[in-house]
Structure 1
Amino acid sequence: MSQPVCRVKNLEIQTVADLRRVDCPTLEGRFGLYGMRVYELARGIDKSEVVPDRPTQSISAEDTFERDVLLTEMEPMIRKLAEHTWSASRKESRIARTVVLKLKTSDFKILTRSQTLGSPPSSCEELTSIALSLRERVGLGPQQRFRLVGVGLSNFHDPEAVSAQPALFE
């Protein structure tokens, strides 16, 4: 266990509410100058500059099911989410090289599978195909049920720097 984690546990801090109950001198005594920063953050005080127009790090779409479903039942949902993700990436003129499949099990464990490509997907069909193939890498039993699925794109590159040719009839 790291030193900062041990120091927090010694103060019996488990939640932000616990942290708010600790006074500033105690936190500074344990963490030095960073103690003041922790004290302020626990109270919603942050003087960091807001950067509103920074580039998007990822684009994704996800859906939570009314009932938990098997991995084998997800194909129509993955197709729909891939279409939404592809459409959003085209609107932002973003070119991504990594495709991500996100799943949440019935007991709320989140797992992701991703594939970074040599060149960006050139069509919605290619994105969908990759997302569907990522299901094969989940590695859980066939009876495992899922409550959420998501399809995402990340690892963006400048459109001028990457020569991705769109599909002919897109």
Structure 2
Amino acid sequence: MSESSPNRKIIHIDMDAFYASVEQMDNPSLRGKPVAVGGSENRGVVAAASYEARKFGVRSAISGVMAKKNCPDIIFVSPRFDRYKEISTKIHKIFREYTDLVEPLSLDEAYLDVTQNKKGNPSASLLAEEIRLRIFKEVGLTASAGISVNKFVAKIASDYNKPNGQKTVNPEEVITFLEELPIRKFYGVGKVTTEKMYQLGIFTGVELKSKSLEFLEKHFGKAGGFYYNVVRGIHNSEVKSDRITKSVAAEHTFDINLSSEIFMIEQLENIANTLERRLKKHNISGKTVTLKIKYSDFTQQTRSKTLPYFIADKGLILETVKELLYQERMKNSVRLLGISLNNLNTEVKKAVVVQLKFSF
């Protein structure tokens, strides 16, 4: 490990098929069956799939039509986000009994820095085991965990023994672990980047590590520096207990495709109302308004405008969205519209924390 990369004890907890597992827990008739949360056999997009459904290639973000094609016996369930949030709150309460350094990534996953923890336990692996057992006993769901010296490695490790398992990558194992790792499993390397790396002869971490910083920056821009560091075990990002909200959004998928801007404006008013409620609930405003359009052929387009002042009012949001909507003609009928607000007033200065190295 590089001296510039401090050894922390980081746990990444990831709930197993969270939304679908909650539905199966609350409705015993769904247990052992292929379940998709969200979508339908005619419309919509799958938000989550049970492990029974995943065996058939059903994954989040695929269309309900494709899910039905892959798994004819799939059971579609409407999402209940209030219920998921209720369960998530219970899980995060358990986390905070171990450390205050908890960084939620979503309702179903979080980083925990247990370098110094409330239990006084020096073993991050044993703490992860205990946390997972408590979640199962007190909530009724299983979770998987990755444990290592930084967030990057812990995130990757949590996916290794899913579901209901954990993997520890000790400090002395990090470099070997990353060198042997298929490049497609590097967190932050998506499908497009994976294909580009393959074309450059990069298939595993060891091949990525053989490339110079100049080479990676030439082919991947700023991300090249990130790849250069993480494959060497260098990832200094701290667990941020007060994670900064970078975007607030609301969107809606329609039962019938919309082909007229008049009908779209009506729907955008409703979406702007929802967005305003979310902004005001957290006292957030922003400068950049983005209109998201998904067409009937599933192609997607975004149009953005940055204002010289912060807004949170639905009227001002809608006024900007209308301008973006009429910016150019629709190329097809529309199945989804969304509005997001970025460039928010949530930026705060972060204190610099110096972590000492401890035995793992």
TM-score band, normalised by shorter chain: 0.5 to 0.7
CA RMSD in angstroms, aligned pairs only = 3.3
User: How far off its partner does 1:59 sit?
Assistant: 0.6
User: What amino acid sits opposite 1:106 in the alignment?
Assistant: S
SS at match of 1:51: coil
Residue 10 to residue 64, structure 1, CA distance change in 2 (3 Å): same
> Residues 64 and 147 of structure 1 are in contact (CA less than 8 Å); yes or no, is this contact kept in structure 2?
yes
Q: In structure 2, how many angstroms separate the alpha carbons of the residues matched to 1:93 and 1:70?
A: 35
Q: In structure 2, how many angstroms separate the alpha carbons of the residues matched to 1:57 and 1:71?
A: 32
Higher relative contact order (CA 8 A, sep 6+): 1
> Residues 276 and 312 of structure 2 are in contact (CA less than 8 Å); yes or no, is this contact kept in structure 1?
no
1:29 matched to 2:29: no
1:111 matched to 2:292: no
* Counterpart selection for 1:153 from 317, 337, 341: 341
User: How far off its partner does 1:119 sit?
Assistant: 2.4
1:70 maps to: 259
User: What amino acid sits opposite 1:90 in the alignment?
Assistant: K
How is 1:91-170 mapped onto 2 (pairs within 5 angstroms)?
91-121=281-311, 123-141=313-331, 144-157=332-345
**Gapped runs of 5+ residues in structure 1?**
14-18, 41-45, 160-170
**Structure showing the higher strand proportion among its residues:** 1
**Gapped runs of 5+ residues in structure 2?**
1-193, 214-224, 348-360
TM-score, normalized by length of structure 2? 0.34
Post-superposition Cα deviations, 1:74-121, rounded to whole Å, max 9, x if no partner, equal: 122100110111111111111211221111122222211122222233
Q: In structure 2, how many angstroms separate the alpha carbons of the residues matched to 1:139 and 1:56?
A: 32
Of 63-72 and 92-101, deviating more is 63-72
Q: In structure 1, how many angstroms separate the alpha carbons of the residues matched to 2:197 and 2:341?
A: 38
SS at match of 1:118: strand
How is 1:74-89 mapped onto 2 (pairs within 5 angstroms)?
74-89=264-279
Post-superposition Cα deviations, 1:4-45, rounded to whole Å, max 9, x if no partner, equal: 97653143x7xxxxx5xx4x44443356895784598xxxxx
Residue 71 to residue 37, structure 1, CA distance change in 2 (3 Å): farther
2:98 maps to: none
SS at match of 1:133: helix
User: How far off its partner does 1:67 sit?
Assistant: 2.8
1:57 maps to: 246
Question: Once the two structures are aligned, what percentage of the paired residues are identical?
Answer: 26
Residue 114 to residue 6, structure 1, CA distance change in 2 (3 Å): closer
Residue 53 to residue 7, structure 1, CA distance change in 2 (3 Å): same
Q: In structure 1, how many angstroms separate the alpha carbons of the residues matched to 2:197 and 2:290?
A: 36
**Count of residues in correspondence between the two structures:** 140
> Residues 27 and 39 of structure 1 are in contact (CA less than 8 Å); yes or no, is this contact kept in structure 2?
no
Residue 66 to residue 37, structure 1, CA distance change in 2 (3 Å): same
User: How far off its partner does 1:47 sit?
Assistant: 8.1
User: What amino acid sits opposite 1:80 in the alignment?
Assistant: N
> Residues 284 and 312 of structure 2 are in contact (CA less than 8 Å); yes or no, is this contact kept in structure 1?
no
Post-superposition Cα deviations, 1:40-80, rounded to whole Å, max 9, x if no partner, equal: 8xxxxx88533342221111101112232224221221001
